């Protein structure tokens, strides 16, 4: 019974951590209006694209709470670099 509680706690922590807004490690002024607009557009499009990709089959859909957040973060980084932002040294 204790292991079940640990598993549930870990799941809750992962879920809560996944909800925090992601700001990719790119060079530039993160406080500028242009950056904020670009980042919000990338967040929306990336989340939607990953959701649609995971919804295509039962397997990816079932594990999407685990695989989804890293996939969304990677898609946001790709989107931001596509808009001309450069990843900071060692940024993943």
Query: Which tens digits make up the pLDDT trace of 12-55?
Result: 444 544 557 899 999 989 999 999 999 999 999 999 999 999 99
Phi, psi of 87 (to 5 degrees): -60, 140
User: What pLDDT score was predicted for residue 5?
Assistant: 46
pTM of the model: 0.73
* Residue 3's pLDDT band (cuts 50, 70, 90): low
Other beta carbons within 10 angstroms of residue 21's beta carbon come to: 8
Alpha helix segments (H runs only) across the chain = 2-19, 33-54, 58-82
Backbone angles phi, psi at 26, to 5 degrees: -115, 155
Break the chain into its structural domains and give their ranges. 2-82
How far is Cα 20 from Cα 48, in angstroms, rounded to an integer?
16
DSSP 89: T
């Amino acid at each position: 019974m204790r292991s079940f509680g640990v598993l549930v706690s870990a799941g809750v922590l992962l879920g809560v951590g996944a909800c925090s807004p992601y700001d990719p490690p790119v060079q530039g002024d993160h406080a500028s209006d242009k950056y904020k607009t670009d980042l919000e557009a990338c967040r929306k499009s990336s989340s939607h694209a990953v959701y649609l990709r995971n919804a295509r089959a039962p397997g990816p859909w079932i594990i999407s709470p685990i695989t989804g957040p890293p996939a969304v973060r990677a898609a946001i980084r790709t989107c931001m670099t596509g808009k001309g932002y450069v990843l900071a040294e060692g940024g993943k």
